[in-house]
Amino acid sequence: MSVLDEIDRQLIAALQLNARESVAMLARQLGIARTTVTSRLARLEKTQVIAGYGVRLGQRVADGGLQAYVGITVQPRSGKEVLRRLSTMAQVQQLCAVSGEFDYVAWLRTDSPEQLDQLLDQIGSVDGVEKTTTSIILSNKLDRGQPI
């Protein structure tokens, strides 16, 4: 990853608040020329510091289903197979290798408690999965997007 200076960090932070902000407005907010914003954006995209732009759903839409975090403990040398199997499950929104009590933490999204139950059974039956611990998300209190 390339080194980010303070202007890069401010530009990324502004885009995290509103990725649709115009180059002219970004330039005004940062006190720099539009051409500077354009060239920095091009560099940040080319070097994959900015990997893409997306949409964050509002709380009412995001809450339309059931979300949960699942801590997953795997047997030694089973990580690759568990990763392969979990990557085929569309309801697994994110999977992170972590330190501590679990080997992986997965973020799941399903349409109903019944679907969550079936998905947890499916995850638990994957060869190499030793144990799962589930926490259902009741409400989202703070979301700042991905930090820079």
For residue 40, give the amino acid letter.
Answer: R
Domain ranges of the chain: 6-47, 59-137
Average pLDDT over residues 18-24: 93
Query: What's the gap between Cα 123 and its chain centre?
Result: 20
pLDDT at 62 over 70: no
Helix orientation angle between 6-17 and 23-30, rounded to the nearest 10 degrees: 130
Q: Which CATH number fits domain 59-137: 3.40.50.2300, 3.40.47.10, 3.30.70.920, 3.40.50.300?
A: 3.30.70.920
- Give the length of the chain: 148
Note whether 6-47 and 59-137 share their fold: no
pLDDT at 55: 75
Architecture of domain 6-47 in CATH? Orthogonal Bundle (1.10)
Average pLDDT rounded to a whole number, residues 78-103 = 95
pTM above 0.95, yes or no: no
**Angle, CA of 5, 6 and 7, to the nearest 5°:** 95
Digit-coded pLDDT (tens) for 34-51: 999 999 999 999 999 999
- Binning pLDDT at 50, 70 and 90, where does residue 133 land? very high
